[in-house]
Amino acid sequence: MSKRTENEKRIRLLLVEDEESFVDALTIGLNREGFDVDIARDGQEAINRFTSASYDLVLLDLMLPKVSGLDVCRTIRLSSDVPIIIVSAKGEEVDMVLMLEIGADDYVTKPYRLRELVARIRAVLRRRENHEVLDASDELLEVGPIRMDVDARRCFVSGEEVKLRKKEFALLRLLLENPGRVLTREVLIDRVWGNDYVGDTKTLDVHIKRLRSLIEHDPKAPEHISTVRGVGYRFELTKS
Ligand code: CA
């Protein structure tokens, strides 16, 4: 056991992986990078471990004995929003939309370099930290020049108030709550409209267009609300 102080808290990962050769190399590499690693060798063990301990992130292989990676992800999401990175093998059909829908934060394809994996892990954790800061400030959301006071139902762009309709407000709120993360069309429609969604799928795009006209400097070249072609939209984390 190495000596460590309170503020040198190590990140605790749950590594769900059934390939033994992979597990060893990865565990050594991740330990060296400052992560504590627990291992689950099948989907059922992953669920059991997850319910009995707390983790900062789950690295989840897709093809697993007993319970598939997708079902493990779905199960974890019933009770937790722990960051999850899905790992798939080369050649496996990966449906990115489905993975985002069931709540994965990111995914990597084997074989990958340890350095790449660590960069992804740190990016997901950083994103989550920002998200938690937003959550902590409760009903005040602030990303870049956009500030939203949820309780008062008011929104400001660089200090200037913009008037949003009900659905526009809900849509922007959802995007601001998930900065840097792709939200699929299905998720946006479901969370903002639910069963109220009528008409064709253009309704969402019309609302995005109107939001852009209100918050973007140049709505034709949006800096805040990006389109992720074929998937959905993402609110960009601004550098400043
Ligand atoms: Ca596997």
Residues 117 and 161 in one domain: no
Q: How far is the CA of 115 from the centre of ligand 1 (A)?
A: 21
Residue 26 lies in a domain: yes
Residue 4 lies in a domain: no
Measured in Å, residue 104 CA sits from the centre of ligand 1 at 17
- Structurally, the chain folds into a number of domains equal to 2
DSSP state of 61: E
Compute CA distances 94 → 87, 88, 222, 224, whole Å: 10, 7, 29, 28
Ligand 1 centre and the CA of 37: distance in Å? Answer: 17
Helix (H) or strand (E) holding 102: none
Question: Could you say which of 77, 107, 133 is where a domain stops?
Answer: 133
2 in any annotated domain? no
Q: What is the pLDDT of residue 138?
A: 62
Backbone CA torsion sign across 45, 122, 80, 99: negative
pLDDT at 190: 85
| Cβ 33 vs Cβ 15: under 8 Å | no
Domain boundary among 117, 133, 149: 133
* 3-class SS string, 123-161: HHHHHHHHHHHHHHCCCEEEECCEEEECCCCEEEECCEE
DSSP state of 195: G
pLDDT value of residue 131: 65
- CA torsion 59→138→207→185, rounded to 10°? 20
In angstroms, what is the span from residue 44 Cα to ligand 1's centroid? 13
> 107 CA to middle of ligand 1, Å?
14
Sign of CA dihedral 29, 35, 36, 41: negative
Distance (Å, whole) CA 124 – CA 127:
5
The predicted pLDDT at position 162 comes to 94
State in Å: Cα 125 to ligand 1 middle.
24
CB atoms within 10 A of CB 161: 11
Q: What is the pLDDT of residue 171?
A: 95
Q: Where is the domain boundary, 108, 133, 158? A: 133
* Whole-number pLDDT of residue 2: 46
Residues 147 and 181 in one domain: yes
DSSP state of 67: S
**What does the block give as tokens for 24?**
């060893």
Per-residue confidence in pLDDT tens, the chain, 240 aa: 444 444 457 899 999 999 998 899 899 999 999 999 999 999 999 999 999 999 999 999 999 999 999 999 999 998 888 999 999 887 777 777 778 778 888 888 888 889 989 988 998 888 777 666 655 556 788 888 999 998 888 999 999 999 999 889 999 999 998 888 889 998 898 888 887 777 677 889 999 999 999 999 999 999 999 999 889 999 998 754
Provide the pLDDT for residue 134: 55
Angle (CA) 52 54 55, round 5°: 130
Domain range enclosing 165 = 139-235
**Ligand 1 centroid, distance to 18 Cα (angstroms):** 5
Do residues 82 and 192 share a domain? no
Return the pLDDT at 133: 60
**Is the same domain home to 128 and 20?**
yes
pLDDT confidence of residue 94 = 72
Separate counts of helices (H) and strands (E) for the chain: 8, 12
